[in-house]
């Protein structure tokens, strides 16, 4: 029996926007046990679907796939040159004092503890995240935030929020045990992608409501 296709937000002859569930790989991992992924499920229906970008396995939300090599090149350039605006929703531990802010901390792979990343002010690559408070829950001591990654480093949002003392709930990789066990999954969702359609040049505003 074929594996289920996650919800599709947009499909045309240039691209596919899918809504990835949490705990599904974006692309195949190492070994046959990790072959199941969003890319493979889409390619079973759309043979020309090609990878442009990824989400962490634990993160849910919007991913765009290109239809064919020409569209893949165009979309890859748009992502690389930061012509795509990305927005995420998250719930973090603690109550943020300000209404909005920016985290500017260089990141590098923590090689002895891969796949973890870490802040490194000497050797790290420039990494910047904008954040905005959506709602505070004083009773439970948590804050719902909107996150905008200006750069696209691996695990950037997770490391940056942990580094300012507000780790994301359910983050088993970076949060302390109390916060990691406070949710059944990582409460991080790719909720918005704004880009120019690579085929016809029209602006696209793709949205996905957080499932938490």
Query: Measured at the alpha carbon of residue 52, what is the angle toward residues 46 and 54, in degrees to the nearest 5?
Result: 100
Q: How many helices (H) and strands (E) does the chain have?
A: 4, 12
What are the backbone angles phi and psi of residue 159, rounded to the nearest 5°? -70, -45
93 carries an active-site annotation? no
Other residues' Cβ atoms within 10 Å of the Cβ of residue 72: 19
Q: Which of 19, 56, 93, 171 is catalytic?
A: 56
Which residues fall within 8 angstroms of residue 108, CB to CB, at 6 or more apart? Answer: 117, 118, 120, 123, 124, 125
Q: Which residues of 52-69 are buried (b: 16+ CB within 10 A; e: fewer)?
A: bbbbbbbbbbbbbbbbee
Active site residues: 56
């Amino acid at each position: 029996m074929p594996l289920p296709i996650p919800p599709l937000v947009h499909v045309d002859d240039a691209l596919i926007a899918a809504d990835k569930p949490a705990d599904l790989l974006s692309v195949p991992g190492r070994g046959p046990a990790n072959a199941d992924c969003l890319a493979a499920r889409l390619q079973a229906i759309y043979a020309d679907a090609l990878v442009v970008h990824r989400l962490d396995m634990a993160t849910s939300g919007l991913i765009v796939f290109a239809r064919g090599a020409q569209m893949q090149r165009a979309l890859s350039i748009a992502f690389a040159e930061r012509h795509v605006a990305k927005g995420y929703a998250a719930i973090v531990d603690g109550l943020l004092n300000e209404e909005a802010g920016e985290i500017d901390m260089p990141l590098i792979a923590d090689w002895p503890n891969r796949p973890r990343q870490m802040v490194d002010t000497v050797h790290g690559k420039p990494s910047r995240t904008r954040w905005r408070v959506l709602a505070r829950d004083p009773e439970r001591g948590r804050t719902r935030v909107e996150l905008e990654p200006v750069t696209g480093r691996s695990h950037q949002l997770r490391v940056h929020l942990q580094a300012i003392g507000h780790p994301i709930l359910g983050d088993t990789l970076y949060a302390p045990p109390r916060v990691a066990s406070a949710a059944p999954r990582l409460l991080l969702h790719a909720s918005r992608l704004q880009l120019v359609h690579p085929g016809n040049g029209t602006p696209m505003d793709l949205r996905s409501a957080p499932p938490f």
